[in-house]
Structure 1
Amino acid sequence: MDTELSEASRELTVACDAYEIALVTNDVDTLMDLFWDSPDTVRYGPTENLYGSEEIQAFRQNRPSKGLERKVERREITLLDAITGYCNIEFSRETPAGKRIGRQTQFWRKFPEIGWKVVSAHVSLMAI
């Protein structure tokens, strides 16, 4: 891997780590900072389809802040080039109904001046 891709890989890993911490601690400001502030940003969740950063922010601000803990079982970060990559996570979460397995895919883009941002995300839970 060349130096440019090595640095991009390190930066994207740091961004993905920051996202995970913000997610489980319900740090809405950091979560929103990590999403591209655009009407073209998309986030599909287990129970919602969100189009644009305004809908994503409203969802984040209104969702329950308890029970967000999860265990990352596997994470794969892949760069397509020095400014484009994706992060796939398999996670588990304990619920009153038992253990749930989920999957998360985030497509990231590095923008000049604002850095790495999620431009599209998809979260799903597996039926058990």
Structure 2
Amino acid sequence: MDIDLPDVVAEVGEAFARYEAALVGNDVATLDELFHNDPRTLRYGGGENLYGYAEIQAFRAARSPVGLMRSTARTVITSYGRDTAVASTLFYRDNAPGKVGRQMQTWVRFPEGWRIVAAHVSTIDEPRESP
């Protein structure tokens, strides 16, 4: 298996950047588009466990657009073959000092493009020392 094919990493990087812009801009239509429309798609969030596209879509529709701005750091995208990749990043919000968010997404290439099939978001106290 080929790992980290440059063109695949670049494609997923573009999809990830599109997701990030949609997230902080509360572009719900794009966020919905980037999750795979399937009952097996899941998203574990900071305060919710969402099973299936319908639950993820309902969460996005109801979420407040306030306080979504954030900065990211240490983003790593690793591809496995031509059709699967994992994107991981740390994120920081001005309204949550001393906290660091962690986000991981599994992306799969479908005929309609790259889509998230699994996501996990959590927040911890910022470690005193970061590697």
TM-score, with structure 2 as normaliser: 0.89
Structure-2 residue corresponding to 1:34: 34
Percent identity over the alignment?
Answer: 46
Give the structure 2 partner of residue 124 of structure 1: 122
Q: 1:100: how far off?
A: 2.3
- Superimposed CA distance per residue, residues 66-98 of structure 1 (whole angstroms, 9 cap, x where no aligned partner): 100001021000001110000000011111x63
Q: Which residue in the other structure is 2:56 paired with?
A: 56
Deviates most, 29-38 or 99-108: 99-108
Map of 2:99 onto structure 1: 100
Aligned residue in 1 for 2:69: 69
TM-score (norm 1): 0.91
May I ask how many residue pairs the two structures share in their alignment?
A: 124
> Could you tell me how far apart the structure 1 residues matched to 2:101 and 2:20 are?
14
Gaps of 5+ in 1: none
1:18 matched to 2:18: yes
Are 1:87 and 1:106, in contact at CA under 8 Å, matched by a contact in 2? Answer: yes
**Displacement of 1:6:** 2.6
C-alpha distance in 1 between matches for 2:12 and 2:97: 32
Name structure 2 gaps, 5 residues minimum: 127-131
Kindly provide the CA deviation profile for residues 74-127 of structure 1, in whole angstroms up to 9, marking residues without a partner as x. Answer: 1000001110000000011111x634210000000001x211000000000003
